[in-house]
Structure 1
Amino acid sequence: MKEYIVDNLKNKMRYHDFPGEDTPILFIHGLGCAGSFDYPEVAAQVDLINHRRILVDLLGSGFSDKPDNYLYTVKEHAEYLCNFVKSLNLHKFIIFGHSLGGPIAIELADKCKDSVETIILSEANLDKSSEDSSSYKFGSFREDDFVNSIFDEVINENAIHNSMWTAALSVCSSTAISRISKSAVEGGNPSWREILYSLNCKKTFIFGEKSLPDDDQIELKKHNINIQIVKAAGHSMAWENPKGLAEAIKKGILYARLNF
């Protein structure tokens, strides 16, 4: 694992950087997750093995630092990731973003327009959080209440029936989870959907088969966004079918190259 110093306070983001000759893929994880937890098995699949694969743990998550002085908004994550990819001299790269990592991926792509080969999203937030989402529930609490009691209650309630997510969530900063959830509830301005539609690069959106039907499957096609479906998986497709997710990501890359 490597580390990147984010700011003058020496806060560090940690990440895996697996070598490969093909275009680097930057993996951005979702709420309560970590790149180091979610994506090693996906990155190891034969479809992606020739790519350089960069798996980040966002600040506040996984093995990265968890400073309380960060706002942890979608925009703030995108800003330091923009500096990060510049520090790696990534003149051309692919962005993958899952769930609430999707808005971060979209804002990053908007900042790095000339360097993005393609953006690939899996069941990403395109609009402000819906009332049935975890981010809406977390973001609707007062921060002090969430940090001091509700976060632990969420861990305990999910420990059995959603143990993988609980394992990753339990090592996140409760402050970071609260703040990025509030950012998701507020949404983007312009919306992340509008930014996505405006990007000039080719775009792919991945659904898990178990998450369908979804109205966005039709809506996104209207905006020339390539749709891929991971069989035998739902929202947590990196854990449920890592091979299928890797295949879908590769199809998204080939779609961009064949339709350049």
Structure 2
Amino acid sequence: MRVFPEQPPSVRTFTLPGSTDPAMVFLHGLGSAGVPAFGAIAADIAFEGRERVLPDLLGFGFSDRPHDIGYSLDDHAAAVAGLLDQRNLTSVDLVGHSLGGSIATVLAYRRPDLVGRLIVLEPNLLPWDGTASVEIARQSESEFVDTGVAELIVDADPEWASTLRVADPVALHRTAVGLCVGPEPTIRSMLESATGPRVFVYGDRTGPPSREAELISAGVEVVRVADAGHVMMADNPAGVVEVLRAALL
């Protein structure tokens, strides 16, 4: 895992305070930010009393956006690990959506001391396993920065467009490339071999993951959220809360 310099770029967070261990940490998807993605879920009364940490990944939201890193999944996982180490948080309940689910899986695999239970909401499991990320990564960095990001914002739904506008275009492109290329081993292999409880959540409009039986045989619980597509936190927030309650409480 990448090790940042003595003064690493800052990962900004919104925290709902609590005293009940372990903390809950939520990682947002590509082009999003912590509070827009998970604020309503984290603030639900079901989790009252728990410390809930909602970072903005590097390059997104209010976090720093350095241009001297590659924004690979390992870079993002290392930045989150640094945040948890700084706060002396271990064995957290880690929840990640899409890109955030892939990063969460890398973190659980590389730093199992930091992650107790892992819940991933439709993460990218294999290289080039995505839609928006593939569209972005197939452009050159300069092409995306010059014209691609503006076109992406125009075509995006209003909620996603609002967070895309404040994302750094270079970080967004490099993150998409890192997500498409993926780490070694693959996210799927990491998820299957990671220690600790693991839950894969999918929306019923998306459908179950490929080779679902293999995930289950590796000890991964697979759970469906009704009336939801990929962005299930917006489609059916009550359903997502119920899944998290069952997994974490």
Q: CA deviation at 1:216?
A: 4.5
> CA-atom RMSD, angstroms?
1.7
What's the counterpart of residue 203 of structure 1? 198
Q: 1:47 aligns to what SS in structure 2?
A: helix
Match of 2:134 in 1: 136
Q: Mapping of 1:104-143 within 5 angstroms?
A: 104-130=103-129, 133-143=131-141
- Single out whichever of 220-229 and 50-59 deviates more from structure 2: 220-229
Q: Which residue pairs with 2:32 in the alignment?
A: 33
User: 1:184 Cα deviation (Å)?
Assistant: 1.5
Work out which of the residue numbers 146, 150, 153 in structure 1 matches 2:151: 153
1:1-260 equivalence runs, <5 A: 8=6, 11-20=9-18, 21-130=20-129, 133-158=131-156, 162-254=157-249
Q: What are the Cα deviations for residues 179-221 of structure 1, in whole angstroms up to 9, with x where unaligned?
A: 0111122122111111111112010011112212543444422
Say if 2:193 and 2:218, in contact at 8 Å, map to a contact too: no
Distance in 2 of aligned mates of 1:82 and 1:135: 23
Q: Distance in 1 between matches of 2:28 and 2:144?
A: 22
Moved over 6 A (4+): none
Contact 2:229 2:235 in 1 (8 A): yes
How many residues align? The count is: 245
Looking at structure 1, the residues matched to 72 and 209 of structure 2 have their Cα atoms a distance apart, in angstroms, of: 27
Q: Tell which deviates more after alignment, 103-112 or 196-205.
A: 103-112
Distance apart, 1:71 and its partner CA = 1.4
Q: Within 2, Cα distance between the matches of 1:182 and 1:90?
A: 30
* 2:202 aligned partner, one-letter code: F
Query: Tell me, what secondary structure is at the counterpart of 2:113?
Result: helix
Letter in 2 for 1:128: P
Tell me, what secondary structure is at the counterpart of 2:142?
helix
After superposition, the Cα gap between the structure-2 partners of 1:51 and 1:88, relative to the gap in structure 1 and judged at 3 Å, is same
- 1:258 aligns with none
Q: Does the CA contact (< 8 Å) of 1:22 and 1:50 recur in 2?
A: no
Q: What residue number does 1:257 align with?
A: none
Aligned residues of 1:36 and 1:62 also touching (Cα < 8 A):
no
Quote the offset at 1:10 in angstroms: 6.2
Residue identity matched to 1:154: L
Question: Which is worse superposed, 17-26 or 136-145?
Answer: 17-26
Structure-2-length-normalised TM-score:
0.92
Q: Is the 8 A contact 2:202 2:208 kept in 1?
A: no
- CA deviations on 1:87-145 (whole Å, 9 max, x unpaired) are 11113211111101122111111232134221000001111123x61111111111000
Give the alignment's TM-score, normalised by structure 1.
Answer: 0.88
Query: Which blocks of at least 5 consecutive residues in structure 1 are unaligned?
Result: 1-5, 255-260
The secondary structure found in structure 2 opposite 1:127 is coil
CA contact (8 A) 2:41 2:237 kept: yes
1:7: Cα distance to partner? 5.2
AA at the equivalent of 2:14: H
2: distance between equivalents of 1:169 and 1:25?
A: 25
